[in-house]
Amino acid sequence: MKDKNYFLTKAQENFPELKFSVLAPDITEFSGSNGDSILLDLGQHAVGHFSFAFDRVDVFVDAPVRLVIKFGEDMREINDDFSEYKGVLSKTWLQEEIINLDFPQKVTMPRRYACRYIKITVEKTTRPIRLFDFSFRASTSADVSVLKSANTADALLNKIDCVATSTLKECMQNVFEDGPKRDRRLWIGDLRLEALTNYYTFINLEVVKRCLYLFAAGKCNESGFLPSFVYETPYYHSGATHIEDYALLYVVSVCDYFEHTGDRAVVDDLLGVCKLQLESFSATLDKNLIATKQDGWFAFIDWCPGLECMTALQGVYLYTLERFAELLKAIGDDEYEKYSALIPAVRSASKEHLYDEGKKVFANPSDNGQLSVHSQVWMILGGVITGEEAKRLLFSCLDNENFKQPVTPYMRHYVIEAMLKLGLKDDAVRYLKKFWGGMVELGADTFWEAFIPDELDFSPYNDRMINSLCHAWSCTPSYFIRKYGL
Ligand code: RAM
């Protein structure tokens, strides 16, 4: 296997060029005094740097001026009182600054923000002040000039496609970020879905390649699993979390990349890392070929509270094995037979040990008997259950309150994949419209990290304020609409 420095060098060689545009908000000038505020609207979600100028209105300002500047991805965020935040993630992700200006000047704020709205409040001044020359320098590595419109006659799908491509564009910076407001880093699960959508929209192959190499340079844990996320600013740092489903989906991302590019050199570089992920996973199987629980945070699947993940994780393994075997066949790798022989064996073991024949559902002791859409969907995607039996199973669990339901667009992506695998195109469209259309109806400019239609305050982090409202893994409607001609 190549070493870390080799992978980092390759990542550097594929550094995407950022494209900049300057946005002017709807208001050009404001005069005010203590307690006054102004709300600027950029007219669209943007990621970048904000600047403005400040001067006196008439009388010389003889003391520093204190401004509070708040950036919101939507208006709810602008109206939130951040001092009431009680979430589990650091409140420093909330985009609010207090700045003190000693004298009239042009101010370019040093930090990058993700927002549509900017609220400036004059907290303290001794004399009235004037703020003007508002400007926002936005960045993305997506080239909007290559984006074709989705060929759909359906107005709602068209709107969903526009919001989805904006979501991807905003998350596409030097890497595929998960969310430009938070966590602003490269996660495998997000990368996979962003890359998929990118193949049908902005077709920026450099950024995909770069992200694949950045993970290959990561520090695997003692079991051999890749880090689930990496940082590259201010310097490369390999994340300390090693989620197994993400490690497997890295392999799938390499398979997707090869499918869309035929780029053999990259696959040759990354093949060893991919094999290590599958070998590491198979080392966690028990004698019946069923995945076992590991220590710490070893599986993700979805942010659904209380979700038991083992059956779904087994499905991710099968899904990966199938894709990887196809890749090995395509490149004539010696180990094709070894991996492909595992597929029927693991599938029948999964049916035997994880399926409840009486209840006709995947519910088993490894998940404490819990019923979830997640288990059923991943068993379908893993090919453990097929055809009419699979369709019946899927219909029986969706919208059924006895089953845990997905809470993120990430998991809902895989529900739609399962529907399309079973040829259920109309149901896929209905499901897509219900969840992504639901966000559009609520005025989303970009798609959110988590969304439960009748629980708008839901947050995986115990406070909605910290949720990312432009989240990478929510961009896949454009993939579905464009690939399947929905
Ligand atoms: C969150 C991020 C990211 C996701 C992980 C599992 O912290 O938002 O999108 O991949 O969780």
Write out the chain in H/E/C secondary structure.
CCCHHHHHHHHHHCCCCCEEEEECCCCCEEEECCCCEEEEEEEEEEEEEEEEEEEECCCCCCCCEEEEEEEECCHHHHHCCHHHCCCCCCHHHCCEEEEEECCCEEEECCCCEEEEEEEEEEEECCCCEEEEEEEEEEEECCCHHHCCCCCCCCHHHHHHHHHHHHHHHHHECCCECCCCCCCCCEEHHHHHHHHHHHHCCCCCHHHHHHHHHHHHCCCCCCCCCCCCEEECCCCCEECCCCCHHHHHHHHHHHHHHHHHHCCHHHHHHHHHHHHHHHHHHHCCECCCCCECCCCCCCCCCCCCCCCCCHHHHHHHHHHHHHHHHHHHHHHCCCCHHHHHHHHHHHHHHHHHHHEECCCCEECCHHHCCCCEHHHHHHHHHCCCCCHHHHHHHHHHHCCCCCCECCCCHHHHHHHHHHHHHCCCHHHHHHHHHHHHHHHHHCCCCCCCCCCCCCCCCCCCCCCHHHCCCCCHHHCCHHHHHHHCCC
Radius of gyration, CA atoms only, the chain? 24
Residues 370-385 have a mean pLDDT of: 98
At 208, the amino acid letter reads V
User: Which two tokens mark 152?
Assistant: 């759909």
Give the residue, by CA position, lying nearest to ligand 1 atom 1: 183
Give the residue, by CA position, lying nearest to ligand 1 atom 9: 178
> Could you tell me the distance, in angstroms and rounded to a whole number, from the CA of residue 229 to the centre of ligand 1?
9
| pLDDT surpasses 80 at 236 | yes
322's CB contacts (< 8 A; 6+ apart) are 343, 382, 383
Are 44 and 112 in contact by the 8 Å Cβ rule? The answer is: no
Residues 448-452 have a mean pLDDT of: 98
Higher pLDDT, 16 or 416: 416
Handedness of CA 409, 398, 423, 439 (dihedral sign): negative
pLDDT, tens digit, 9 for 90 and up, residues 331-341 = 999 999 999 99
Ligand 1 atom at minimum distance from 468 CA: 8
Give the residue, by CA position, lying nearest to ligand 1 atom 3: 178
Ligand 1 atom at minimum distance from 449 CA: 8
Mean pLDDT of the chain: 97
Q: pTM above 0.95? A: yes
pLDDT for residue 139: 98
pLDDT confidence bin for 151, thresholds 50/70/90: confident
The answer to whether the CB of 176 is under 6 A from ligand 1 is no
| pLDDT surpasses 80 at 249 | yes
Ligand 1 atom at minimum distance from 300 CA: 6
| pLDDT surpasses 80 at 210 | yes
CA nearest neighbour of 163 among 475, 482, 486, 485 = 475
Ligand 1 atom at minimum distance from 178 CA: 9
pLDDT, tens digit, 9 for 90 and up, residues 327-363 = 999 999 999 999 999 999 999 999 999 999 999 999 9
pLDDT for residue 479: 98
Residues 228-244 have a mean pLDDT of: 96
CA nearest neighbour of 409 among 454, 463, 472 = 472
Alpha-carbon 333 to chain mean position:
32
Give the residue, by CA position, lying nearest to ligand 1 atom 6: 300
pLDDT, tens digit, 9 for 90 and up, residues 419-439 = 999 999 999 999 999 999 999
| pLDDT surpasses 80 at 279 | yes
Are 62 and 103 in contact by the 8 Å Cβ rule? The answer is: no
Cα dist from 104 to 48, 57, 90, 98, whole Å: 23, 11, 33, 17
Q: Name the phi and psi angles at 99, rounded to 5.
A: -125, 145
Residues 221-226 have a mean pLDDT of: 98
Ligand 1 atom at minimum distance from 229 CA: 10
Are 50 and 105 in contact by the 8 Å Cβ rule? The answer is: no
| pLDDT surpasses 80 at 136 | yes
pLDDT for residue 395: 97
pLDDT for residue 1: 77
The answer to whether the CB of 461 is under 6 A from ligand 1 is no
Instruction: Please choose from 88, 177, 183 the residue to mutate so as to test ligand 1's pocket, defined by most ligand atoms within 8 A of CB.
Output: 183
350's CB contacts (< 8 A; 6+ apart) are 289, 290, 311, 314, 315, 318, 379, 382, 384
Are 126 and 62 in contact by the 8 Å Cβ rule? The answer is: yes
The answer to whether the CB of 229 is under 6 A from ligand 1 is no
d(CA 335, CA 314): 21
Residues 378-402 have a mean pLDDT of: 97
pLDDT confidence bin for 321, thresholds 50/70/90: very high
The answer to whether the CB of 187 is under 6 A from ligand 1 is yes
pLDDT for residue 466: 98
pLDDT for residue 287: 98
Please report, rounded to a whole number, the percentage of residues in the chain having pLDDT higher than 70: 100
pLDDT, tens digit, 9 for 90 and up, residues 111-131 = 999 999 999 999 999 999 999
Residue 396 buriedness (CB in 10 A; 0-12 / 13-18 / 19+)? middle
| pLDDT surpasses 80 at 213 | yes
Are 354 and 364 in contact by the 8 Å Cβ rule? The answer is: yes
Residues 438-443 have a mean pLDDT of: 98
pLDDT confidence bin for 226, thresholds 50/70/90: very high
Residue with tokens 């890295």: 250
d(CA 108, CA 91): 23
d(CA 349, CA 112): 50
CA nearest neighbour of 13 among 210, 173, 269 = 210
Q: How many CB atoms lie within 10 A of CB 391?
A: 18
pLDDT for residue 167: 98
User: Which two tokens mark 134?
Assistant: 């508002």
Give the residue, by CA position, lying nearest to ligand 1 atom 5: 187
